[in-house]
Amino acid sequence: SSSQIVVLYWHRTDLRLHDSPALEAALALKPSVFIPVWTWDPHYVYRARVGPNRWKFLMECQSDLSKSYTKLNAKQKLWVVREAPQTVLPKLWEKWGITHLVFEKDTDAYARERDSAVIQMAEKAGVEVVTRMGRTLFDPDELVRKNGGKPTMSMSQVERAMEKIDGGKPARPVETPQSVPDPWKDDQMNLSDLDHEMADSNPDLNAEHRANEDRQYDEIMGPNKDFGVPTLEEIGIDPSSVQAPHRGGESAALKELSQFIADEEYIATFEKPKTSPAAFEPQSTTLLSPHLHFGSLSVRKFWWDVQDVMERRKKAKKQNAGPPANLPGQLLFRDMYFAAQAAVGAPFARVEGNSVVRFIDWHLQSKLVQSEEKKNKKHRKGTEKGDENILPARDYELDSSEAEEWFQRWKTGRTGFPWIDALMRQLITEGWIHHLGRHSVACFLTRGGCYISWERGAEVFEEYLIDHETACNAGNWMWLSCTAFFAQFYRCYSPIAFGKKWDPNGDLIRRYVPELAKFDKKYIYEPWKAPIADQKKWGCRVTNDDKDTASGKGGPQVYPKPMFDFDERRQFCLDKMKAAYDVGLYGNDKKVLNGEWKEL
Ligand code: FAD
C-alpha cells in the first residue's frame, strides 16, 4: 500500500551491524520492507588503486555482514548491486518502491560529491534521505566548525575543538539490532524485468537493444542473479595473488578487539612510540586499522572499550599512559586527519590547490606539475645567488630518470637498504606495516633520502595498504615529508640505525628479505660491508653487477648494493628542505598552480 515504509539501507563505510547510528535510524523508521545494499561503485573499482589484498579484505567484510543479516532473518542478506550508485539507485527506488534511503555520512571529497548528487535525485523522486555520522569519533564538519572553520592541523587544535562538543567525549555506542524486517519476496527483488518494463513503454526498442538491457540487468544482480557477494574471480583477480594473512569482517574485528581489551595492562599502558616496528606475529599495535577503514569495527566502540579499561584502572590507582601516545590518542589522530580533509576538500590528497601543504621542488613532482613542466618547456638553469625569494631548484637538477629508478626500487623493495626493503616487501605482500615502519619508508622516499614527492609514495600506499584511508594516508605522508602537520625536517630516520635499535638481530629483514636470512647480525643492516667470502658462505652476493644478477637458478642469490650514499643524500635533502622552507610556497600558491615556480 502507499503508506508502507520501504527502506533502502546503503552500506558504504559501515560494513557492520554493531554501533551504527545510521542503521539504527533506518530501523527506527519501522519499515515493512528493508533492503540493505552495497553498490559496486566504479569509482572504487576502476579509479582508486586497490590491490588484491584489499579486495579480499573488502569481500570478507561483505560476506561476514551478509551472514550476520541472514542470522537475524533467514530472508535477509547484504544485497550486492553491481553498478554505480548514481545510476543504479534511481532504478532501485522505482523498482522496489523505496520511500526512504538511509546511509552513514561520509566527508571524503569524492563521497561528498557523489552523495549530494544522489540526495538531489532522491528528492526529485520523492525518496526521503536520512544520514547519520558514525565513521569517526566526532563529525569532522563539527570539529572544523569548532576549530573556527579551519582545518585541524595539530592535536591541540583537535583537543580544544572536541572540548566544545559534548565535553570532549564521543557518543556512546548504540545497540546492535536483534532483528531486521524482510526484503521483498524473491520475484519482486528480481531486476530481470526492468528492461521489459522499459521495452513495454517503448515499442521501438529492437531485439538487440532488448538483449543488451537484459544482460545489463542480469549483471546488476551478479553472475548467479542472486545479488551475492562477488568472488575475486568475478572481478578478475587471481586468488593466488592474495597473500595477506589479515582477515576482514565484523566478527573477526570484534573478536580481535575483545582479545586486546581483555589484556588490560596492554591497553592501558600502550604508548605508540614504544611499540616496535619490527615486531610481527604478533605485531606490536592492534592492527585494527583495516577494520576501521571498512567500518567492520566502530571507532566509538574501540574508543569506549579502551576508555572503560582506563577508568577501571584509574579507580584501582593503577598507571595509565597519557595522550596523544596512548590508544585514545591514536584514534584522535584519525579524527584530526578526517577533519583536516573535510575542511580542505579534494586538494587535501595532493599538492595542487592544497592550502595546507608546503610546496617542495622534489625530483619527481606530482602529475599536474609534471604536465605544467612540459608546457613550460623553456626553463632557466640556475638562479642568482643571494636572492632569498628563489628556489635554487635548477642548481641541483637531477636526471629525472635516476630519480624514477630510485622510486621503482623503493616501490619494489630493492633499494639495497635491507630495513627499507623488508618493510616495502611486507607492505606489498601483506598490506600492512607498523606506523614507525611507514615513517621509515616515507621519510626515506621524501625528505630523508630520495627527495621524491610524497604524492608518489601515497599512490603506492593507496594500492597496497589494506587500511588505506585517503585522509590518513595523505595526512601522514604530509607529516612525514614535513610538508604539513610537522616541520622538524632536520630530524631524519636512518635506514640503518633506526631499525637496528628495535631489532638488532634483523628478524624483520630475515623474514621479508630471505636472501639475507643467513647473514650475521653484524652485517644484516649493511650487507655490502660483509667480506666476499662471508657473502658466499651465507649464500648471497651483494652486487649491482648484471653478470651476478643474471646468475640465475642454482647460483648464489643476489641482493643489490645501496642505491646511493645515504649520508650524502641526507645532507642534500637538508639543504634543499631549508631552501624550500625559506621560499615558503604552498600548494595553492599562484606560482605553483601556474607552474611558475620553475621560472622564478
Ligand atoms: P594502532 O597503533 O593500534 O592505533 C589504533 C588506531 O588508531 C589505528 O587503527 C588507526 O585507526 C588510528 N591511528 C593510529 N595512528 C594513526 C595515525 N598516525 N594517523 C591516523 N590514524 C591513526 N592509517 C590508516 O588508517 N590508513 C592509511 O592509509 C594510513 N596511511 C599512512 C601513511 C603513512 C606514510 C604513515 C606514516 C601512516 C599512515 N597511517 C594510516 C597511520 C598509521 O600508520 C596506521 O593507522 C597504523 O599503523 C595502523 O595500525 P594499527 O591499527 O595497529 O594502529
pLDDT digits (tens, 9 = 90+) for 190-226: 998 775 555 555 566 667 666 666 666 678 999 899 9
In Å, what is the CA distance from 274 to each residue of 263, 289, 502? 17, 18, 10
End-to-end Cα distance, the chain: 70
Q: Whose CA is nearest to atom 52 of ligand 1?
A: 287
Q: Whose CA is nearest to atom 8 of ligand 1?
A: 289
Average pLDDT, the chain: 90
Point out the least confidently predicted range of 11-20, 311-320, 399-408, 477-486.
Answer: 399-408
Rounded to the nearest whole angstrom, what is the distance from the C-alpha of residue 6 to the centroid of ligand 1?
38
Q: Whose CA is nearest to atom 34 of ligand 1?
A: 477
CB of residue 297 inside a 6 A radius of ligand 1: no
CB of residue 435 inside a 6 A radius of ligand 1: yes
pLDDT at site 189: 96
Grid cell listed for 473: 594516508
Rounded Cα distance between 114 and 132, Å, is 16
Rounded Cα distance between 148 and 432, Å, is 35
**Average pLDDT over every residue of 114-140:** 97
**pLDDT > 50? residue 332:** yes
CB of residue 330 inside a 6 A radius of ligand 1: yes
**Average pLDDT over every residue of 445-465:** 96
Rounded to the nearest whole angstrom, what is the distance from the C-alpha of residue 444 to the centroid of ligand 1?
18
Region for residue 552 given its phi and psi (left: phi exceeds 0; alpha: psi -120 to 50; beta: otherwise): left
**Who wins on pLDDT, 79 or 549?**
79
CB of residue 292 inside a 6 A radius of ligand 1: yes
Q: Whose CA is nearest to atom 43 of ligand 1?
A: 435
Rounded to the nearest whole angstrom, what is the distance from the C-alpha of residue 233 to the centroid of ligand 1?
30
Q: Whose CA is nearest to atom 46 of ligand 1?
A: 435
pLDDT at site 41: 72
Residues 6+ apart with CB under 8 A from 309: 261, 264, 267, 268
Residue type, 132: R
**Average pLDDT over every residue of 409-432:** 98
Query: For residue 303, which of 283, 288, 317, 316 has the smallest C-alpha distance?
Result: 288
**pLDDT > 90? residue 324:** yes
6: enclosing H helix or E strand: strand 6-11
Rounded to the nearest whole angstrom, what is the distance from the C-alpha of residue 197 to the centroid of ligand 1?
49
Grid cell listed for 364: 619527481
**pLDDT > 80? residue 163:** yes
Counting from 1 in the atom list of ligand 1, the atom nearest the Cα of 288 is 51
Q: Whose CA is nearest to atom 33 of ligand 1?
A: 476
CB of residue 287 inside a 6 A radius of ligand 1: yes
CB of residue 268 inside a 6 A radius of ligand 1: no
CB of residue 284 inside a 6 A radius of ligand 1: no
Across the chain, how many H-helices and E-strands are there? 27, 7
Rounded to the nearest whole angstrom, what is the distance from the C-alpha of residue 52 to the centroid of ligand 1?
20
CB of residue 246 inside a 6 A radius of ligand 1: no
Q: How confident is the model at residue 235 (pLDDT cuts 50, 70, 90)?
A: confident
Q: Model confidence over 337-372: pLDDT tens digits?
A: 999 999 999 999 999 999 999 999 999 876 555 444
The distance of Cα 69 from the centroid of its chain, to the nearest Å, equals: 27
Q: Whose CA is nearest to atom 47 of ligand 1?
A: 435
Name the pTM for this structure.
Answer: 0.93
Rounded Cα distance between 245 and 147, Å, is 40
**Who wins on pLDDT, 193 or 244?**
244
Of 50-59, 490-499, 589-598, highest mean pLDDT: 490-499
Mutate to test the pocket of ligand 1, among 272, 467, 483 (most ligand atoms within 8 A of CB): 467
CB of residue 438 inside a 6 A radius of ligand 1: yes
Beta bridge partners of 6: 33
